[in-house]
A and B are shown apart, each in its own frame.
Chain A
Amino acid sequence: DAGVTQSPTHLIKTRGQQVTLRCSPKSGHDTVSWYQQALGQGPQFIFQYYEEEERQRGNFPDRFSGHQFPNYSSELNVNALLLGDSALYLCASGSIPGQGNSPLHFGNGTRLTVT
């Protein structure tokens, strides 16, 4: 039973560039959430996808966008990268978005460095 998988594991980009991160949810899960974790901080919620639509969004600019595919996998896109976007990007999957007490399962994350 595959857990949440993310790719790539590491990425180095230059300011102003664009990046796409990918996530496949745990088998049986249909919701995907994305989080940004800066060094020494807890993860910050970016957005959640369910049924191929963005359902909730955190306090992140429009440079952060996403997509969910019919097979439930998801992409996170960040445009016009800034140095401050350097962080660990975590994907989490779950089921039944209305049930808040359902635990989320996190992937290993993509470590993005912007130079």
Chain B
Amino acid sequence: RKEVEQDPGPFNVPEGATVAFNCTYSNSASQSFFWYRQDCRKEPKLLMSVYSSGNEDGRFTAQLNRASQYISLLIRDSKLSDSATYLCVVNPYNQGGKLIFGQGTELSVKP
């Protein structure tokens, strides 16, 4: 079993749609969770951290369920510029530097 697993992609959605990405992780002792965004042939960039109480940043909402070892990202009112690969990321040992990345889910938002 992979340490971090994500929904297979790609997701093709029209502008304005709501899209949800899911992710599960295997290490129950994991402490820190993130969503990164990666544009084609570019470096990953932090989209948002994920907190136990859930958190929102504009059109983006992240949720964490520690009991189920499940992380989600919801994007509302998708824009063309949201097209990218979304990476679910876990820091299993709460030590900076060693992040475990999921395979990534590609999102394509169409006009």
Report A's interface with B, CB cutoff 8 A: 31, 33, 35, 40-45, 48, 50, 55-56, 58, 90, 92, 94-109
CB-based A-B contact count at 8 angstroms: 78
| Majority-rule SS of A interface residues | loop
Q: Are A45 and B91 in contact (CB under 8 A)?
A: no
28 example contacts (A-B, Cβ-Cβ < 8 A) are as follows A31-B97, A33-B98, A40-B103, A42-B4, A42-B103, A42-B104, A43-B87, A43-B99, A43-B101, A90-B43, A90-B44, A92-B97, A95-B96, A97-B95, A98-B96, A99-B96, A100-B94, A101-B31, A101-B32, A101-B49, A103-B34, A103-B46, A104-B46, A104-B96, A104-B99, A106-B43, A106-B44, A107-B43
Are B32 and A100 in contact, with the CB atoms below 8 A?
yes
Label chain B's interface by main secondary structure. loop
Would you give the 0/1 interface string for B34-52, flagging 1 where the beta carbon is closer than 8 Å to chain A?
1000000011111001000
